Amino acid sequence: MKVDILLGLQWGDEGKGKVVDVLTPRYDVVARFQGGPNAGHTLEFEGQKYVLRSIPSGIFQGDKTNVIGNGVVLDPALFKAEAEALEASGHNLKDRLIISKKAHLILPTHRILDAAYEASKGDAKVGTTGKGIGPTYTDKVSRNGLRVGDLLHGFEQKYAKAKAYHEQILKSLNYTYDLSTLEKDWFEGIEYLKQFRLVDSEHEINGFLKEGKSILCEGAQGTMLDIDFGSYPFVTSSNTICAGACTGLGVAPNKIGEVYGIFKAYCTRVGAGPFPTELFDETGEKICALGHEYGAVTGRKRRCGWIDLVALKYAVMIDGVTKLIMMKSDVLDGFDTIKACVAYRLKNGEETDQFPFDIAEGIEPIYVELPGWKTDMTHMTSEDEFPEEFNAYLSFLEEQLGVPIKIVSVGPDREQTIERYTDEEN
């Protein structure tokens, strides 16, 4: 019996999908616990590339059970498009994917509200993915939401009531919109969704544990986008942190085993909000170009910068990370020197390595500089091949973060993944 969690430690897009796929053979079940189609998780293997949004990244490995948990928000239209594309490419889903009846539904009007709220914010826009995430979680918390289980009883009435409520708000915002196409696709999605096993997933999950099965929980977004601990208000609307797996699946905290924290060898952010180590120079452009840093969902250019150990240390603390995973080190393969932010200088001149309440204004990152490894690592298969400077970078990060880096990713493909400390147990 074990429940392990894999989650992002930065501002999302750390490479969660790739590593969940790599780790899936070691588990019986893979479960998503929060977020929705704001996520874009990319997997590459056998020359194919897939982007998953609501479907867990365990779907490509054998006959594992995949779960969309109660903490997820689901858009039936986008789910149908995603699932049908997978089925068309030969990946059967219906007997391997179960969906919580308690997951909340993203309505067409939630998407319109998302756009309307953003439009009303002017310069203070969050830069959301426009998928209706905030309004759906708002309705969940204010006890106005529709859940997957509602499809089975008196759905039409519940939908009409929610829609009327949303339309009132849109009217008060003077927002003009056209619902017709969105609504048509959405209702087709609803019919499609009914073909899946809609379950009380907390019972299923705890049943798996009783049978001695192991579960890998897949996070979406990242710790710095968490609604409580992220760079509020420039965050998403769910708990992306370790504790989110407990509430988003119905797993008790004492069942949690390993917490895999995943980060890039540098840092990116998409959308608005503070980003202390952001680079506005050619180094930033170089990282963006080499890392192909464009959003998997919206295609937006990701902002790029050096690794931020103040924010990372904070994430490791909040999540109780037991194993670290470093991604995209290959992007830095050609750099003469690598910088890492180890502290912030605040507006009042004070230095701190504790993540402060407000990182919005006047924070200056304090860097240490390390020598680059200047070696193409993309074909390496073992840590024995690592250049000395790369090992020094890993040791420096481990010392700063106090947690071992167990996996290093040197390219987007499933095969470009190197495990370290393999002689130790796990």
Q: Point out which residues bind ligand IMO (CB under 6 A).
A: 8, 11-13, 35, 38-41, 126-129, 131, 133-134, 220-222, 225, 234, 236-237, 270-271, 296
Nearest to 313 by CA among 287, 341, 332: 341
Number of residues that bind Mg ion (CB under 5 A): 3
Q: Decide whether 295 or 371 has the Cβ nearer to ligand GDP.
A: 295
Please identify which residue in the block is written with the tokens 């909040």: 318
Binding to ligand GDP by residue 327, rule CB under 6 A? yes
Q: Decide whether 111 or 302 has the Cβ nearer to ligand GDP.
A: 302
Residue closest to ligand GDP when measured from CB atoms: 42
Helix (H, G, I), strand (E, B) or coil at 367: strand
Return the residues of window 37-96 that contact Mg ion according to CB under 5 A: 40
Please identify which residue in the block is written with the tokens 């501002």: 11
Residue 104 main-chain phi, psi, to 5 deg: -85, 150
d(CA 269, CA 277): 10
d(CA 160, CA 155): 9
Residue 114 CB, shortest distance to ligand GDP, in Å, is 19
Return the residues of window 344-383 that contact ligand GDP according to CB under 6 A: none
Instruction: Specify the stretch interacting with Mg ion by CB under 5 A; choose among 80-88, 168-176, 290-298, 345-353.
Output: 290-298
- Convert residues 21-50 into a mask of x (bound to ligand GDP by CB under 6 A) and - (unbound): ------------------xxxx-x------
By a kind-dependent CB cut-off of 5 to 8 A, residue 117 interacts, out of Mg ion, ligand GDP, ligand IMO, none, with none
d(CA 166, CA 108): 10
CA atoms within 13 A on the CB side of 14: 30
Residue 296 CB, shortest distance to Mg ion, in Å, is 5
- Catalytic residue IDs: 13, 41
d(CA 37, CA 56): 11
409's CB contacts (< 8 A; 6+ apart) are 15, 18, 19, 325, 326, 327, 328, 329, 416, 417, 418
Residue 128 CB, shortest distance to ligand GDP, in Å, is 16
Structure tokens at 279: 């680079």
By a kind-dependent CB cut-off of 5 to 8 A, residue 412 interacts, out of ligand GDP, Mg ion, ligand IMO, none, with ligand GDP
- Convert residues 63-102 into a mask of x (bound to ligand GDP by CB under 6 A) and - (unbound): ----------------------------------------
d(CA 57, CA 31): 9
Binding to Mg ion by residue 13, rule CB under 5 A? yes
Q: Decide whether 76 or 271 has the Cβ nearer to ligand IMO.
A: 271
Binding to ligand GDP by residue 331, rule CB under 6 A? yes
Q: Where are the alpha helices (DSSP H) in 195-344?
A: 201-210, 242-249, 282-290, 309-319
Q: Given candidates 8, 36, 58, 134, which one binds ligand GDP under the rule CB under 6 A? A: 8
By a kind-dependent CB cut-off of 5 to 8 A, residue 131 interacts, out of Mg ion, ligand IMO, ligand GDP, none, with ligand IMO
Residue 7 CB, shortest distance to ligand IMO, in Å, is 10
Find the helix packing angle between 201-210 and 242-249, rounded to 10°: 110
Other CB atoms within 10 Å distance of the CB of residue 362? 11
Residue 411 CB, shortest distance to ligand GDP, in Å, is 5
Q: Given candidates 4, 13, 139, 204, which one binds ligand GDP under the rule CB under 6 A? A: 13
Structure tokens at 89: 């490419």
d(CA 117, CA 115): 6
d(CA 181, CA 213): 43
Return the residues of window 394-423 that contact ligand GDP according to CB under 6 A: 409-412
Query: Footprint of ligand GDP on this chain (CB under 6 A)?
Result: 8, 12-18, 39-42, 44, 291, 296, 327-328, 330-331, 409-412
